[in-house]
Amino acid sequence: MSDTATSTYLGHAARTPVIACHECDLLQRESAVPPEGVLRCCRCRATLYRRHANSLDRTLAYALAACVLWVISNAFPIVGLAVNGDLVETTMFGAVRVLYQDGMWPLSALIFITTMLMPACQALGLVWLLLPLRLGRTPYRADAVFRTLRVAQEWGMTEVLILGLLVALVKLSHIASVVTGPALWSFGALMLMLAAAASVFDARDLWMRLEGVPDAGPAFDSGTAFPAATAAACGMCVCHDCGLLTRVASAQASDERDYANVHASVRLPMHPAHCPRCGAHLHLRKPDSLARTWACLIAAIILYVPANVLPVMDTSSLFGAQKDTIMSGVVYLWTSGSWPLAVLVFIASVAVPMLKILAIGFLATSANFHSTWQPDQRARIYRIVELVGRWSMLDIYVIAVLTALVQFNALATVRAGPAAIAFGAVVVLTMFAAMSFDPRLIWDKRQPE
């Protein structure tokens, strides 16, 4: 069982390192974390740091296994259909190729990136960083690889793919005999290995091994109060990639009264420097956060209508042609007796996108009006939106598998409909909207407290 340690604000220890919360920017003194323990922000309860025993060796083992499983998953068929003695099989790359040949290249590129490229970058990135350390060497360009790894972890969606494959198997079982391929099982194992690697990877331990010093940010005397409550008000920025707290000479905002509306001020630099450790951009607040959030959100709202009204899949057979929308696919699963999958598809493909749009709109509106209403609850809403954002891709993966397998010419053919591209765009745009929103805006009006 994990112990939970909460960081102490204005503690009374000796001169201790100071950390800043990446969600509310509160300055806090760092506390010791027991093995398998968690350090949480004392204001917004965001997770600041997780400590794992033997983290880097365990992560390397999982990453090496993931590399082997990735090769198997993409070299062998995922699933096949047996019709009149003929067996039609497809790999993940085969599904991507069929969509590209049908003119659905945006959908093809999205599936390739999220199911093949990003999982490969995640596994190879961990091996690139950790294998040289295990051999007593320094990895080449560790900063760039670390930033790439962060992006790969956000956009790799192997777990959503597995769920999409299960839904596709149910639909295919009503068409012909389904033959599961070795890649189906290796994809499941790949999902487990990547999830295990991400859960035990300790970035702080990595940088301590690379730099040879503890991961300590600026320190203050324990007997003195901080100059201000937040990092930005003290002229410091926290790196959102590696977590390093850095003093920024050009960001002098020590007066909290002048800083109360920091997110609305154009006088403060938005990109004052780069992180001296990983090279990522440092910013007091995300540049044009609300403007970019609203732009992505409005585009998602516009595309949400055709995504649910237009056909997402076109089926041609000896009995005629049929155009299915997302809701008709849910009805089909329900009437065929697979009501658990019907509920799952409805939640992932209909309810989640709508709730994401409403939640992000609520967060952006409250930040626009500088609301002080329940910031802790709004912070929880933000975390939930980031957590469930990727699961809306489920229907896209179902369409990809069906399109690749059901190609029996005169007997039956399945093609992706125009709504598939619109729906994929809605998923990507809502994820971009959540990434563009700066959760620290929720807390800016609470600085005097």
Domain ends where: 179, 210, 241?
210
- Dist CA 345 CA 393 (whole Å): 10
pLDDT of 217 reads: 54
Between 6 and 302, residue with greater pLDDT = 302
Write out the residue range of the structural domain in which residue 239 sits: 1-51+216-285
CB 52 within 8 A of CB 62: no
**Lowest-confidence range among 123-132, 141-150, 163-172?**
163-172
- Dist CA 130 CA 149 (whole Å): 12
Ranked by mean pLDDT, which of 12-16, 67-71, 84-88 comes out on top?
67-71
Burial call 201-227: b when 16+ CB within 10 Å, e when fewer: bbbbbbbeebeeeebebbebeeeeebe
Note whether residue 132 is domain-resident.
Answer: yes
Residues 234 and 110 placed together within one structural domain of the fold = no
- Dist CA 403 CA 275 (whole Å): 45
DSSP 3-state assignment of 284? Answer: coil
Between 177 and 157, residue with greater pLDDT = 157
pLDDT of 83 reads: 73
Antiparallel, parallel or unpaired: β 4-6 and 38-40: parallel
Closest CA to 251 of 92, 14, 20: 20
pLDDT of 270 reads: 43
**Token couple for 134:** 């295990």
Domain ends where: 210, 239, 265?
210
Contacts of 425 (CB under 8 A, 6+ apart): 106, 299, 300, 303, 307
Residues 322 and 386 placed together within one structural domain of the fold = yes
Note whether residue 446 is domain-resident.
Answer: no
Residues 273 and 157 placed together within one structural domain of the fold = no
Residues 196 and 250 placed together within one structural domain of the fold = no
Closest CA to 92 of 159, 154, 161: 161
Residues 65 and 206 placed together within one structural domain of the fold = yes
Residues 203 and 338 placed together within one structural domain of the fold = no
Residues 3 and 120 placed together within one structural domain of the fold = no
Contacts of 219 (CB under 8 A, 6+ apart): 15, 16, 17, 18
DSSP 267: S
**What mean pLDDT do residues 173-199 have?**
89
Note whether residue 449 is domain-resident.
Answer: no
Residue pointed to by tokens 């390397």: 60
CB 393 within 8 A of CB 399: no
Residues 66 and 85 placed together within one structural domain of the fold = yes
Note whether residue 445 is domain-resident.
Answer: no
CB atoms within 10 A of CB 88: 17
pLDDT band at 261; cut points 50, 70, 90: very low
Note whether residue 447 is domain-resident.
Answer: no
Note whether residue 405 is domain-resident.
Answer: yes
- Dist CA 77 CA 62 (whole Å): 23
pLDDT of 271 reads: 45
- The CA–CA distances, whole Å, from 393 to 116, 320, 343, 385 equal 14, 29, 15, 14
- Dist CA 22 CA 27 (whole Å): 10
* pLDDT over 90 (residue 121): yes
pLDDT band at 89; cut points 50, 70, 90: confident
DSSP 3-state assignment of 255? Answer: coil
Note whether residue 257 is domain-resident.
Answer: yes
- Dist CA 333 CA 327 (whole Å): 10
DSSP 60: H
pLDDT of 149 reads: 94
Domain ends where: 166, 192, 210?
210
Residues 297 and 359 placed together within one structural domain of the fold = yes
Residues 361 and 385 placed together within one structural domain of the fold = yes
**Token couple for 295:** 């732009």
Tell me the per-residue pLDDT of 399-427, one tens digit each, with 9 for 90 and over.
888 888 876 555 567 788 889 999 999 99
- Dist CA 77 CA 92 (whole Å): 8
- Dist CA 16 CA 18 (whole Å): 6
**Token couple for 251:** 């960001």
- Dist CA 425 CA 149 (whole Å): 23
Helix-, strand-, coil-residue percentages of the chain, each rounded to 5:
55, 15, 30
Residues 413 and 305 placed together within one structural domain of the fold = yes
CB 3 within 8 A of CB 52: no
Note whether residue 87 is domain-resident.
Answer: yes
pLDDT of 259 reads: 39
pLDDT of 222 reads: 57
pLDDT of 317 reads: 59
Q: How far is CA 407 from the centre of its chain?
A: 33
- What CATH number has the domain bearing residue 296? 1.20.140
DSSP-assigned states of every residue in 21-73: -TTT-BEEE-----TT-EEE-TTT--EEEE--TTHHHHHHHHHHHHHHHHHHH
Antiparallel, parallel or unpaired: β 16-20 and 27-29: antiparallel
Q: Name the domain count of the chain.
A: 3
- The CA–CA distances, whole Å, from 132 to 66, 120, 128 equal 18, 18, 7
Q: Roughly how many angstroms between the first and final C-alpha of the chain, as a whole number?
A: 34
Residues 229 and 339 placed together within one structural domain of the fold = no
